[in-house]
Structure 1
Amino acid sequence: MGNVVKTYWKGDMTFESTNPGGSLTIDASKEIGGNDNGLRPKAMMLSSLAGCSGIDIAMLLRKMKVEIDTFDIEIDAELTDEHPKYYHKVDCHYNFYGTDLNEKKIKKIVDLSVDKYCGVMEMFRRFAEVSIHIHYHNS
């Protein structure tokens, strides 16, 4: 069928989850009975979104020979009020740092990730209003 992820209960609200590239620990906050010893499931979805788009961007920067010092992606998401709570608004902020940034090429790279390559972005669009913001930090 494709990728297989297996998740093992470790007691309380802690789980160990395998992934084709490694494993990670999932846990809940102490407020709801967890131990605060792992990643939160919903927040991991945001990390997956940033990671998927980030990998696209890193590959496209290399392919299009665009020079930057670094970049980061900050995602601010809002959950619905009613259960089951899910992200219904997602703001993605792409921050690029460098000297004499080629804003036109960087925008094209982000657009390619967001509109064409990032499968996680496409999944998010099925249930959330997603907005994209690109910020250029020239030094």
Structure 2
Amino acid sequence: MTNKITTTWLGNMKFESTNPSGQNLFIDAGEENGGNNEGYRPKALMLSGLAGCAGLDVASLIKKMKLDVNSFKIEIEADLTEEHPKYYDKVSMDFHFYGDNLDEKKLQKTVDLSAEKYCGVLEMFRQFAEVSINSFLHKK
């Protein structure tokens, strides 16, 4: 399968990028870099792509396994290298699950399956970054 996107310059530092979903997004630099703060930052967008990929996996597995989860979120912190070209060299992903009847073992399995088998974006990140993954369960 091949994905194709088109990213068009809209002037100054702003771009519009297509997506196979039909939903477009805007990319822009912050004011400190000559932009108008009217879009996503490219490197941060990579982290959203990572969280989205893993999140879709976990949500699908929660559904398939019929697990009782009120909600979950993924928090990512990533460190950029000092030298140009700056890239993420350390990435920490924290999965936070909320609910009254959380099955710790099965929820950990959903995270492990995403990390080890399904999430292609995570596998791409592993090519250039040290990735750590943690799970936290919260009674709600």
TM bracket (short chain): over 0.9
**C-alpha offsets along residues 102-137 of structure 1, whole Å, 9 cap, x if unaligned?**
000000010000110000000000000000010100
Q: Runs of 4 or more off by more than 4 Å in structure 1?
A: none
Q: CA RMSD in A?
A: 0.7
Query: Does residue 1:106 correspond to 2:107, yes or no?
Result: yes
Q: Which secondary structure does the structure 1 equivalent of 2:49 belong to? A: helix
Q: Which secondary structure does the structure 1 equivalent of 2:86 belong to? A: coil
Shift, 1:8, TM fit: 0.3
Residue correspondence of structure 1 range 1-139 to structure 2 within 5 A: 2-21=2-21, 22-139=23-140
User: What residue identity is the alignment partner of 1:39?
Assistant: Y
Q: Which secondary structure does the structure 2 equivalent of 1:20 belong to? A: coil
Aligned length: 139
User: What residue identity is the alignment partner of 1:7?
Assistant: T
Question: TM-score normalised to the size of structure 1?
Answer: 0.98
**C-alpha offsets along residues 9-30 of structure 1, whole Å, 9 cap, x if unaligned?**
0000000000011100000010
Shift, 1:100, TM fit: 2.2
Give the Cα separation in 2 of the matches to 1:32 and 1:100.
47
Give the Cα separation in 2 of the matches to 1:46 and 1:67.
27
Shift, 1:45, TM fit: 0.2
User: What residue identity is the alignment partner of 2:16?
Assistant: E
Shift, 1:87, TM fit: 0.3
Q: Which runs of 5+ in 1 are unaligned?
A: none
Give the Cα separation in 1 of the matches to 2:67 and 2:111.
12
Question: TM-score normalised to the size of structure 2?
Answer: 0.98
